[in-house]
A and B are shown apart, each in its own frame.
Chain A
Amino acid sequence: MECKLALSVFRFDAKTDFLPYYKKHFITIDRSLSVNDLLAKIKTEDGSFDYPKGDLAALKINGKALFSNVSLDGIINSFGNSLTLEPLSTKRATKDMIINTDDFYERFDLLDAYVDGKDRPLFEHYMIYHYASSVLDLHEGFQGDALFAFAYDMIHKHPERKREILEVVANEHTGIFLHVKLCKKIYPCGADVEKKITELKNEVMKLKPYPNTLVEKFSHHIELL
């Protein structure tokens, strides 16, 4: 079934623009198509528009991070016909919906020594969680929720590396205790990752991987109960 969408689309070219702007589009499209199809349709209206392609293509719609292969039908049911399309991070935009993801891959390097190269696609699969968090813009060096979800998977896949992995994510200045809930910032829902992060925190508190004042402080809270 076709429907008409009112779009506000983030535009920015790092090579030529000083500030971003939002361009309006009114597009009629079949609801059974995907967000990727919608982006392609915008491109046909405006050839200068660019967006990420491939399995890891992602963006934000009405503030929620999502992969572009999701169905438009669900998006319209959740957000209505008026949509704001933005890159995963407006601060890291290079061309419209395309961003520089170096910071995301730098996080993988934190655990690189304890996992296989083959695990990298799994980490990439969590990209939207990295850019969904409000903490990323407010706290420099924050490891990010993608790394925490990935770490949870890795301590189960490589239990012999559990201590080392927990030591990384337990960092009191950049680690897991700075995570804020992001269920509502992910489409369709981030509850599964939220659950993994809660379990991972419990693992840190159980194992107390290395002397860490924050973990000691929390242990004291628990003992007081």
Chain B
Amino acid sequence: MKNYFLFDTLIQREKTAPMITAARKLIELLGIDAPSFKGAKADLGSEFMGLDKLKFLEHYAYNLTLAADQKRDILCFEQSSFISHAQTKDMLINDANLKFEIAGRLEKHNLSLNLDVQVASLEQLLLEEMDTEKLTSLVKHPFGNFQAALFFGSNACRARKYRKEELVTRLLDSVQLKCVKHESSHESDGFEVYDASSSLAKKLAAKAMLDMFDNAGDFVLVCDARSFIMFDFYQKELEKISGREIGLSVLSLAELLLLAFGETSKKAIGLDQHKVAISLI
């Protein structure tokens, strides 16, 4: 297996701490060589590309170079950081002018642009590098009695270029989790407009949440830290703005897998830090 850095400086860390706790725990449990990516610049979200494309690329090129110089790939356990790193690498490889510009900017930090690094998602790592049978053998508490509402969000379109969505559903199959059908799986979670209009952001998030609730999801499974923020951290506000109770727990992939693998300590998984209580265990 390759050597990785675990990219854990997620967007708005104070609101995404549970995702980070769970990912670290899962990596430890599976014995993956992926220490925390020290010195990496924190995720900004791909929205930032709309504000200043060159600064966005410089920001992530810094991380790519840092990891490449230490001969480690970057392991992202959620979609926001995965897209930003993968897209930066892709854009720089395919545009010589951009690459030259960003290399010049990095030189000011005494770094020589190095793109000899892979950006992997957690689901890619688990399914493509680990033995599927080993994963299945770890499952102590299958989710056969539950139905999740799987939410990819409107950013998934960009992620699809770099990793297949089916990988997530294959992982869910391994823990016997079924998913409800709903129309919001690729809608906006509202995060991308939060700074411009928090009320519009919450209306968008509430619309998606209510759709998942009305389609009888027992909980929401999110792939992106931004969705986690909107659906867990702001859920009370979504209820206020929509005038309806929601009460849907929100889980990340790492949290779900840890629960399936028999981890019951809410603190160890990070579930004690959720705004919406988890009643699955």
Contacts and interface: CB of A to CB of B under 8 A. Distances in A.
B207 A138 contact: yes
Contacts of B55: 222, 225
Interface string B157-177: 110000000000000000000
Contact of A138 (B53, B59, B200): B200
A134 B201 CA distance: 11
Contacts of B188: 134, 180-181
B39 interface: no
A135 B53 CA distance: 24
Nearest to B186: A184
Interface in A7-23: none
B196 A214 contact: yes
B157 A63 contact: no
Contacts of A134: 187-188, 204, 207
B52 interface: yes
Nearest to A135: B200
A181 B197 contact: no
Given A135-B200, A178-B196, A225-B55, A183 B49 contact: no
A202 B154 contact: no
Contacts of B155: 181
A182 interface: yes
A201 interface: yes
A221 B156 CA distance: 25
B203 interface: yes
A194 B207 CA distance: 22
Interface string A192-219: 0010011101100100000000100110
A202 B193 contact: no
Interface in B35-83: 44, 48-53, 55, 59
Given A178-B197, A214-B196, A191 B51 contact: no
8 contacts: A139-B197, A177-B195, A178-B197, A180-B154, A183-B158, A198-B53, A205-B52, A222-B52
Interface of B: 44, 48-53, 55, 59, 154-158, 183, 186-188, 190, 192-193, 195-197, 200, 203-204, 207
Given A178-B193, A184-B186, A202-B50, 14 more contacts: A134-B204, A138-B204, A139-B203, A172-B196, A177-B196, A180-B193, A183-B157, A184-B157, A189-B157, A191-B157, A197-B50, A214-B196, A218-B51, A225-B59
